[in-house]
Structure 1
Amino acid sequence: MKKHILIAALLAFYFLVLNPVPSVVMVTMNSKTQAYHLGDNLSVILPPTTQIKEDDYDDKTEVLLSHYFHDEKYLIRGYIQLWQINDLEQFLVASRANSSYDFQAYSLSKTSVYRLSGYIDQWTASFGDRLSISGKEYWLKKQADTQVLRISFFTDATSFSEVQLQGINQILSTIHWK
């Protein structure tokens, strides 16, 4: 498990720090969308300006499916992933404890998103003097299932703009997990 946490942390560091998105600007959401089918049982609708690519993991014991997305128009990026996790709350607490991020703010709370229950961790972390990144990560599961859907959103600011939050809610409302 520690190996996978380290791999996830390194990938997140690469995409968050070494491959950043420019600062936040205000834009309005376009009504045009594009549907993505991720594996056999999961689909989500994203804005047409969003690019998505599958991450290829050789070892699929914890991370079963992973897609990285980014949208330069809305200045968000993140992951849509399926994980195999037995005790989600314990996993999230351990991940926070093992993180090397310099958190300026962090919260973990229970949430429910369209028939899926789980947790949301919201945070802002400092990566040097000039870069702060905010994250909203939803960890959702079906009742009594060990498969967990992680959908995370990141932006290069100390908070998400109102337009970004509307876009996040719009994306979350389109999750279809059979």
Structure 2
Amino acid sequence: MCEKVWEMETESVCPICLKRIPGKKHQGNAGIFMEKKCPEHGEFKTLIWRDTADHYRGWNTQRCSGAETEADTPCPEGCSHCRAHRQEICCVLLELTNACNLNCPICFAQAGEGRIWSLSMEDIEKRYAYMLDNGGPYNIQLSGGEPTLRDDLPEIITLGRCMGFDYFQLNT
């Protein structure tokens, strides 16, 4: 049985009817779980984080609302960044290249297909600046293709850190 050592109430949606329902996040033995109950469709429980509550809370500290626009439909049905929106950006996926040398049969990025491209440092700096101008700094996930094919990964991260980003992941 999971011992609850940390718990937090939140709002969620039913995965079937998408109605707003209360939820609870809590730490169990395997990580952080989300539990919720829809009056119509029953109870749902899923693992949302495979680490401690301290690491989870650390990941969620840099939350900003991003660029604001008016939504015609309220949250969560009108999914956009507006003053009423409840979900905020926590992580931005930055694709550095579509080049890949792995040939994974289950590649969701269709890496290595078609014309091969890689962002220049100038393009990466423009993307960092755009993120900052639109609510950042955010947590950054460097991705692709296969980003480890880039010889300049340390410089890409250094540039981001100098511009104010302090959390990077490498999606390989």
Shorter chain as normaliser: what TM range? under 0.3
> Scaled by the length of structure 2, what TM-score is found?
0.24
> Scaled by the length of structure 1, what TM-score is found?
0.23
Considering Cα pairs closer than 8 Å and 6+ residues apart, tell me whether 1 or 2 has the greater RCO. Answer: 1
